[in-house]
Structure 1
Amino acid sequence: MSDTKSVKQIKLAYQQRIPNQLVTAVLVLDQNLAIQYANPAAEALLIRSFNKLYNQPLANLFINDPIKQERLNQLLLSGQEFSDSDVILELFVNYKITIELMASAVTFEDLPHILLELKQIDQQKNINAEAFQHQQWESARDLIRGLAHEIKNPLGGLRGAAQLLSKELTQSQQEYTEMIIEQADRLTNLVDRLLGPNQLPNMTQHNIHSVLEKIYNVVRFDNNEGISFVRDYDPSLPEVTFDDDKLQQALLNIVNNAIQALEHNGTITLKTRAATNKTINGKRIKLCASICIIDNGPGIPTKIRDTLFYPMVSGKTNGTGLGLSISQTLIHQHGGKLSYSSKPGYTEFEILLPIINEASL
Structure 2
Amino acid sequence: MITRDIFKPILDSLNTAIVLVDSNLLLHYMNPAAEVLLSVSFDRSAGEPITHFFHEATETVKQLKQAVIQSNHYTKRHTEWQLLSGGHITVDYTVTPFGEKEGLILEIQPINRLLRISREEMLNTSHETTRNLVRGMAHEIKNPLGGIRGAAQLLARELPDSGLQEYTNIIIDEADRLRNLVDRMLGPNQLPRHNQLNIHEVLERVATIIHAESKDAITLIRDYDPSIPNILGDKELLIQALLNIVRNAMQSLLESSTPKGVIRLKTRIQRQFTIGRKHYPLVCRIDVLDNGPGIPARMIENIFYPMISGRAEGTGLGLTISQHLIHQHNGLIECQSEPGQTRFTLYLPMDKSHAEI
- 2:194 corresponds, among 203, 227, 238, to 203
Residue 202 of structure 1 contacts residue 242 of structure 1 at CA under 8 Å; is this kept in 2? yes
Amino acid corresponding to residue 26 of structure 2 in structure 1:
A
1:280 offset after TM fit, Å? 2.6
Deviates more, 1:38-47 or 1:253-262: 38-47
Q: Which amino acid aligns with 1:78?
A: Q
Distance in 2, Cα, partners of 1:161 & 1:300: 44
**1:67 Cα deviation (Å)?**
5.4
Which range is displaced more, 277-286 or 183-192?
Answer: 277-286
1:313 Cα deviation after fit: 0.9
1:133 aligns with 2:123: yes
For residues 34-88 of structure 1, the C-alpha deviation after alignment (integer angstroms, 9 at most, x for no partner) is: 2222222222222222234333222333344455233223323433321011111
The alpha-carbon distance between structure 1 residues 118 and 323, as it changes in their structure 2 partners (threshold 3 A), is: same
Contact 2:238 2:326 in 1 (8 A): yes
3-state SS in 1 of match to 2:215: coil
Q: Which one-letter code corresponds to 1:69 in the other structure?
A: V
Letter in 2 for 1:74: Q
Partner of residue 303, structure 2: 308
Among 78, 81, 90, the alignment partner of 2:70 is 78
1:237-292 deviations in Å (ceiling 9; x for gaps): 22222222222111111111111122242211112222223223332223222222
* Conserved? CA contact 1:90–1:96, under 8 Å: yes
Aligned-partner residue type, residue 230 of structure 1: I
Q: What is the 5 A alignment of 1:209-358?
A: 209-224=200-215, 226-263=217-254, 264=258, 265-356=260-351
- Does residue 23 of structure 1 match 2:15? yes
The residue matched to 1:160 in structure 2 has which SS? helix
Structure 1 counterpart SS, 2:301: helix
The structure 2 residue matched to 1:91, chosen from 75, 83, 91, is 83
Unaligned runs of 5+ in 2: none
Q: 1:65 to 1:215 in 2, by over 3 A?
A: closer
Task: List runs of 5+ in structure 1 lacking aligned partners.
Answer: 1-11
User: 1: distance between equivalents of 2:291 and 2:342?
Assistant: 6
How far apart in 2 are the matches of 1:56 and 1:169? 90
Q: CA 1:235–1:60 in structure 2 vs 1: closer, same or farther (change >3 Å)?
A: closer
Q: Which moved more, 1:297-306 or 1:68-77?
A: 68-77
User: 1:94-134 deviations in whole A, cap 9, x for unaligned?
Assistant: 41111111012220xx4442221111111221121111111
Deviates more, 1:171-180 or 1:288-297: 171-180
**SS in structure 1 of the partner of residue 7 of structure 2:** helix
- Please provide the CA RMSD for this pair: 2.3
Q: 1:124 to 1:28 in 2, by over 3 A?
A: same
* Secondary structure in 1 matching 2:190: coil
Partner AA of 1:282 in structure 2: R
Given residue 31 of structure 2, which amino acid in structure 1 is its aligned partner?
A: N
Q: Is the 8 A contact 1:66 1:89 kept in 2?
A: no
Query: CA 1:281–1:60 in structure 2 vs 1: closer, same or farther (change >3 Å)?
Result: closer
Secondary structure of the residue that 1:197 maps to in structure 2?
A: coil
| Distance in 1 (alpha carbons) for counterparts of 2:55 and 2:63 | 18
Contact 1:166 1:174 (C-alpha < 8 Å) held by counterparts: yes
Does 2:114 align with 1:124? yes
C-alpha change, 1:158 and 1:223, in structure 2 (3 Å) is closer
Q: 1:65–1:106: structure 2 CA closer, same or farther, 3 Å change rule?
A: same
Pick the structure with greater CA Rg: 1
Contact 1:38–1:53 (Cα < 8 Å) also in 2:
no
Is residue 2:167 matched to residue 1:176? yes
User: What letter corresponds to residue 297 of structure 2 in structure 1?
Assistant: T
* Range 308-317 or range 243-252, more displaced: 243-252
CA distance in 1 between partners of 2:142 and 2:63 (Å): 62
Deviation string 1:134-184 (CA, Å, 9 cap, x unpaired) is 111111111111111111122222222333333433234443333222221
User: Equivalents in 2 of 1:72, 1:290: separation in Å?
Assistant: 39
- Whole-Å separation in 2 of the counterparts to 1:203 and 1:44: 37
Task: Please name the residue that 1:49 is paired with.
Answer: 41
Aligned residue for 1:311, secondary structure, equals: coil
Please tell me the residue identity of whatever aligns with 2:233.
Answer: F
Offset at residue 339 of structure 1 (A)? 2.0
Structure 2 CA distance for aligned equivalents of residues 354 and 76 of structure 1 = 47
Q: CA shift at 1:312, angstroms?
A: 0.9
Counterpart-to-counterpart distance in 2, 1:201 and 1:111: 63
User: Secondary structure in 2 aligned to 1:89?
Assistant: strand
Moved more, 93-102 or 159-168: 159-168
> Is the 8 Å Cα contact of residues 59 and 65 (structure 1) preserved in structure 2?
no
Instruction: Show the 5 A alignment for 1:149-160.
Output: 149-160=139-150
